Amino acid sequence: MAQVFGDSGAWTFIYDEMKQIGFQPEELSDIENFLNKEKAKLTSEDELEVQLLQKESLRFSKQMARLDKKYQSAISVSKEKFSSQIEMSDLKIKRLQEPTTFFKKILRKWQIAKEKRNRKGIHKRSIVFFKQLEQKKNSLQVKLERVHQKNQFQIKSKVKNTKRNIEFLEKVQTSPEYFGAMAERKLIKNLSSLPDEFYVFNDIHLALKKAMRFDEKWRRSAQIDTLVISPAGIFVVEVKNWSKTFTAANDYHNPYDQVKWAAYLCYKQTQTKTREIIAHTGHIPQKPQKSRAKVLHLNEVKNYILWFKDRLLTKDQIEALAIEINTLSDRSPFLNW
């Protein structure tokens, strides 16, 4: 078994994205399992949501009815109270206006004026009271409505989170990273069965201290999907899992340019024979005439690497080169394929 370092770069990206929202997949198939569970969860949550919302609406309606009943009762009692006070005042005024002696009439004139002021005060107090009562009722109504809205939001949030998870998982399943991870992990699994002296590095990053001019572009670093160290030298593999539609759209980085630069950078840093491979699953842009890349189906890569029988590197040189690549790419082995 070959010694495998690292994992699919596309898979690492997917894993990190999923971990942020609470999922920790171990395999690509876990994504479909998570999706099915979330969909089943949504079905039961939808039913529960309807029940809880109905229950909440009923609770809110009862509270509003109680508040209105209490308000109407307070109005009725207060109206009766103020009406009684006004009636008493009117009765006093009427009595004071009854025929009497001249001197008493003069005295009562002052008492009548005082009682009329009292009656007017009762009327004003009633207006203020009923206004305050209405304000209090409106304030309580606003509080009840806020609690109702908060409860509705909390009920809906649970389903909303599940729907968001479903949308996220469905988006992952149609993303370029998902299809890339499928191909990259399949290749890693195939290459892991190479002989013991082979080393397989995945998702490595090589960089120069300074940018250099290469094919009319300034470049400094390269991301390599898979790099294999063998007795015959180094193989730099660019993995593509593109659909026919995606390839025809012509909206992508040129894989031949990518692998050419990556292979050159690898050679420049290791001074070891380096070959270029583009591994695909069925659809790939037409190979340029000057390209030295070997275009292979994913399943052909392993046998192609084994086809080279020339031993350019000894076992010690292979191990030293593996340490150098591991250091350059700052990678640590963490897979056990």
Establish if 299 belongs to a structural domain: yes
Instruction: Report the domain count for the chain.
Output: 2
Could you tell me if residue 23 is inside a domain? Answer: no
Q: Domain for residue 35, yes or no?
A: yes
- Domain end, chosen from 150, 173, 196, is at 173
71 and 160 in a single domain? The answer is yes
Closest C-alpha among 220, 237, 219 to residue 279 = 237
Residues 325 and 182 in one domain: yes
- Evaluate if residue 243 carries a pLDDT over 60: no
Q: Which of 166-180, 261-275, 285-299 has the lowest mean pLDDT?
A: 285-299
**In a domain? residue 229:** yes
In a domain, 213, yes or no: yes
11: in domain = no
- How far is it, in rounded angstroms, from Cα 268 to Cα 248? 34
Q: In terms of residue numbers, what domain contains 204?
A: 178-329
In this structure, is residue 289 part of a structural domain?
yes
Q: How many CB atoms lie within 10 A of CB 336?
A: 7
Of residues 170 and 332, more confidently modeled = 170
Q: For residues 191 and 99, state if they share a domain.
A: no
Contact 181, 26 (CB under 8 A): no
Query: What pLDDT shows up at residue 336?
Result: 39
Q: Do 185 and 155 belong together in one domain?
A: no
228 in the same domain as 128:
no
Strands (E), the chain: 3-5, 199-214, 217-230, 233-240, 274-280, 294-297
| Cα dihedral value 180, 182, 188, 192, nearest 10 | 180
Same domain, 183 and 314: yes
Same domain, 167 and 189: no
Strands 217-230 and 199-214: antiparallel
Cβ atoms within 10 Å, residue 228? 23
Strands 217-230 and 274-280: unpaired
What's 305's DSSP letter? H
Which residue, of 119, 153, 173, is where some domain finishes?
173
pLDDT tens, position by position, 167-223: 999 999 999 899 999 999 999 999 999 999 999 999 999 888 888 888 888 998 889
Check pLDDT > 60 for residue 313: yes
Residues 195 and 163 both lie in one domain: no
- Residue 12 within a domain: no
Q: Does residue 324 share a domain with residue 244?
A: yes
Asked if 240 and 133 sit in the same domain, the reply is no
User: In terms of domains, do 121 and 264 share one?
Assistant: no
Q: Domain with 280 in it: what CATH number?
A: 3.40.1350
Q: Which of 111, 146, 173 is the last residue of a domain?
A: 173
0.75 exceeded by pTM: no
pLDDT score of 251: 43
148 and 290 in a single domain? The answer is no
Instruction: Give residue-wise pLDDT tens across range 58-82.
Output: 999 999 999 999 999 999 998 999 8
